[in-house]
Amino acid sequence: MKNNDNAPNNKSYLRDFPWKFTALVLIGIFFMLNAAQAKTSRIKDIVDIEGVRDNMLIGYGLVVGLNGTGDTLNNSPFTEQSLTAMLERLGVNVRGQNLNTGNVAAVMVTATLPPFRNQGSTIDVSISSLGDAESLLGGTLLVTPLMAADGEVYAVAQGPVTVAGFAIEGEAASVVQNIPTSGRVPGGAIVEKEIGFKLEDLGDVRLSLKNPDFTTARRIARAVNGFMSLNVATAENDASVVLKKPKGYGGSIVDLITDIEQLPIQPDMPARVVIDERSGTIVIGADVKISPIAIAQGNLTIKIVETPQVSQPNPFAQQGQTVVVPRSDVEVNTGDDAKLALLETGVTLQDLVTGLNKLGIGPRDMITILQAIKAAGALQAEIEVL
């Protein structure tokens, strides 16, 4: 019998089969892990570290160099007083004089001081007009101390104002783009005082959840304890997880936070429907469920169209005058074509939206329906009205 060189080698195939099967399993696990990771978030994205926070700064200053678009001193006495006081500090006495300049504007200066910002570093500031200035384009902010809630000065701002808008006015028309009475000074404030907070000296910190939830807090604690193989994290409540530096740990609490902030967590949230009645916005969570219920919706719509007509007398008529004769077309829709929709058990978010859309229901009517479903006890979710 002749050997067929093209026939497969059974022994070689059986010998390679376990490796091929293992490779397929590993590829499947890889894709499953990627799919699971796509639904997770890092700890650093869902929590805030206790003490690591921004601080709001505010100040009052003057912007000069405007091309006649500043405050009207007669209408803005605070601008005139500030200008007079500033000139006196510079050795110029104008008190009692009639100032009539339109190149100065009083502004409020705001900034956010990030945590751990060192003395001498710079931060951005925002400028907003306080008087009746038309535009801050081309202006320069003079030295302005920025204070925090404790009354201490933490930064000093100065520099040219960057404005993203403009205003052009002619005799018969005007064009205004964006807001020309507000702007920014990038890197315009120098930090003069640091906030005394030593995170590395702490033995434990609290992780504050941005969206408080008991399940998410426990998942964070379990993920941290599993990663460290020690009981270093405890879910204190739905909004806080206490993180303690273990004994014998070689680094500081900063090193510990760095080690665990990349851990993936699958956040959980309660079933919730958020409604903004002013704008007609509806946001429905993914876990919202509906019990069996029937829904019907109908509206009474009255449409009135006025088409007045002009009646004139015949040509060469001795008497008569031109009058306007009213003509009204009234159309009433009682919603006779409204349908009754039945929602079965365990209706999901997509089923609910699809069913309501088939009824031709707009956002305003949908808000009323959702509130009625909640009142009937069929909406297994919390409704939050903004």
pLDDT in tens, the chain (386 residues): 444 444 445 444 444 444 444 444 445 544 444 444 447 889 989 999 888 888 999 999 999 999 888 888 888 888 888 888 888 888 888 887 777 788 999 999 999 999 888 999 999 999 999 988 888 988 999 999 999 999 999 999 999 999 886 666 666 566 766 788 899 999 999 999 988 788 887 888 899 999 899 999 999 999 999 998 889 999 999 899 999 988 888 888 888 888 888 999 998 888 888 888 777 777 877 777 777 766 666 654 444 455 667 777 777 666 767 776 666 565 545 555 555 555 555 566 566 666 666 666 677 777 777 788 788 777 778 888 77
3-state helix, strand, coil in the chain (%, to 5): 25, 35, 40
What is the per-residue pLDDT across 180-207, written as a single tens digit (0 to 9) for each?
889 999 999 999 998 878 888 788 889 9
CB 120 within 8 A of CB 154: no
244 in Cβ contact with 195 (< 8 Å): no
Please give the model's pTM, rounded to 2 decimal places.
0.65
In the sheet that 233-235 helps form, which strands lie side by side, from edge to edge? 47-49, 204-209, 240-244, 233-235
Over residues 309-341, the pLDDT tens digits come to 777 777 766 676 777 666 656 554 555 555 555
> Partners of 4 in the beta sheet?
none
Q: Any idea where the domains of the chain sit in the sequence?
A: 55-191, 199-265, 272-309+325-385
CA distance 7 to 10: 9
- Angle between helix axes 214-228 and 253-260 (nearest 10 degrees) is 110
d(CA 186, CA 64): 17
Return the amino acid letter for 320.
G
Residues in the chain: 386
CA distance 92 to 79: 17
